[in-house]
Chain A
């Protein structure tokens, strides 16, 4: 029980890093090398790979959820900081950094990584 909790906390923190990075890439999406739809695909692959990495359904699923929450909290701070720091930021990014937009975007991203989770459940279950 205790080791499971420890693994869960560790993997949540580890997973929050790439999730935070992908949220930031959505904030600066007009400057992205890849088109925006492929960023959603990358999020799904991220959700897939966290299940493969943990090799435990419960830990993978919940660390995905918790990592998304941790990353979103940091993203709200980072987004608001950017919004105040860069005054003449284009309107696209200004609206991307607004709080409601942050929350809905994070939920959308979580749903995409959940899709990756489900695919990983199926794949690893079959194998």
Chain B
């Protein structure tokens, strides 16, 4: 019996190593899924600057999630806007060096200005305040766990809150 235990010690040790790794994997998988499931995007317009040929609109992106201890950052937002049923165009938003900022205690804030000109400006000024502005946003989220950087691009859609004046 004792020699059997001695011989199978190697097997038990390797199995324990695999089991410990698996437990860590399951814990990480769980926090990752909770992080992704709890994600919530809130887009609002904070300011509007009109000039003769274009309109500059300040957008504020607020991403929040319940899982606060996960290390994650955002590298880009593909932003599609419509007002009423009129298309306001596709606006890719990228930060410096593929990095827009990271989540702090489960929260991410980003402020950017989008320039509208030509037909888009005309439609925007025509319908602003009368019809709701709706968006589709593909947010590139990188969740970093250990050495792995898991990139995923969830789609958020909804109405833009108008929070100016």
Contacts and interface: CB of A to CB of B under 8 A. Distances in A.
A22 B8 CA distance: 18
A122 interface: no
B105 interface: no
A26 B145 CA distance: 16
Contacts of A65: none
Contact of B26 (A28, A29, A45): A28
Contacts, number: 77
A29 B24 CA distance: 11
A54 B4 CA distance: 8
Interface in A87-122: 88-90
Given A33-B146, A53-B7, A55-B7, A28 B29 contact: yes
B1 interface: no
The B interface, classified by DSSP as helix, strand, loop or mixed, is helix
Interface string A10-47: 00000001100110110011111111000000100110
A48 B14 CA distance: 10
Interface residues of A, number: 28
B21 interface: yes
A126 B122 CA distance: 86
A9 interface: no
A8 interface: no
Contacts of B19: 18, 21
Interface stretch (B32-40, B48-56, B127-135): B32-40
A88 B37 contact: yes
Contacts of B21: 25, 32-34
A17 B15 contact: yes
B86 interface: no
B14 A31 contact: no
A17 B22 CA distance: 13
B11 interface: yes
A22 B29 CA distance: 16
B8 A53 contact: yes
Given A31-B28, A55-B7, A42 B150 contact: no
Nearest to B149: A30
Given A28-B29, A33-B24, A49-B14, 14 more contacts: A18-B15, A18-B19, A21-B18, A25-B21, A25-B25, A28-B26, A31-B25, A33-B21, A33-B146, A34-B21, A45-B14, A48-B10, A50-B11, A89-B33
- Those 10 A-B pairs whose CB atoms lie nearest each other, nearest first: A53-B8, A18-B15, A31-B28, A49-B10, A49-B11, A28-B25, A31-B25, A53-B11, A21-B18, A53-B7
